[in-house]
A and B are shown apart, each in its own frame.
Chain A
Amino acid sequence: EPEVTQTPSHQVTQMGQEVILRCVPISNHLYFYWYRQILGQKVEFLVSFYNNEISEKSEIFDDQFSVERPDGSNFTLKIRSTKLEDSAMYFCASTDSQSYGYTFGSGTRLTVV
């Protein structure tokens, strides 16, 4: 079964550093998403991406965040200057145009120290 692949699985970074989280969505999917889950809390929507542009973003997704699809396969989330409160599990997801068949990656656990 096709999978969404996220790398790295764990990342520790110092406050103020830039991090890039990487995702390879399912190849024929058209909608791409980033969600985050702070430890013990619910999963929160960050941003959606369709047709090479952001289609919607949440209040969490401020100027410190950016997304990119640099080639035909990767989808990245960049945090420019990490803060302690950015520590969370970040999930990438993708879906096709018809079935609402969201598939989530296994996540990247980001720890900011």
Chain B
Amino acid sequence: AQSVTQLGSHVSVSEGALVLLRCNYSSSVPPYLFWYVQYPNQGLQLLLKYTSAATLVKGINGFEAEFKKSETSFHLTKPSAHMSDAAEYFCAVSVMGSARQLTFGSGTQLTVLP
């Protein structure tokens, strides 16, 4: 079975500072990895996904993530935080199979300080 651990349930950064949200996964087979963003009272929006192509994945809104197999990590970064980035971020893993369901981490609430 696969699982995801997100380190830090709350992260605060200043506007313009680097954003780093951590995600480690556990999977017995090569995983597919995802980052989703959730704004208050809204649904889940896909930021980016890794599906065994390039290990550095670029997503929307200036976010990117790097798949590191040796560290079983898929950390999300953005060079310069914007106030509009304040939201909850979920890392998720899936594996190839009949069901392909996503397993989500507990989420990280990002606060951007002025």
State in angstroms the CA–CA spacing of A41 and B92 once bound together. 14
Which secondary structure dominates chain A's binding surface? Answer: strand
Q: Which residues of B contact A99 (CB under 8 A)?
A: 51
Q: How many A-B Cβ pairs are below 8 Å? A: 58
Given A102-B46, A106-B42, is A95 in contact with B51 using a C-beta cutoff of 8 Å?
A: no
Q: Which residues of A contact B102 (CB under 8 A)?
A: 33, 35, 43, 45, 93, 102
Number of interface residues of B (CB under 8 A): 23
Given A91-B43, A100-B49, A106-B42, is A43 in contact with B99 using a C-beta cutoff of 8 Å?
A: no
A87 close to chain B: CB less than 8 A: no
A48–B105 CB distance below 8 A: no
A42–B105 CB distance below 8 A: yes
State in angstroms the CA–CA spacing of A42 and B104 once bound together. 7
State in angstroms the CA–CA spacing of A50 and B32 once bound together. 19
Query: Which A residues have a C-beta under 8 Å from some C-beta of B?
Result: 31, 33, 35, 41-45, 48, 50, 55-56, 91, 93, 95, 99-107
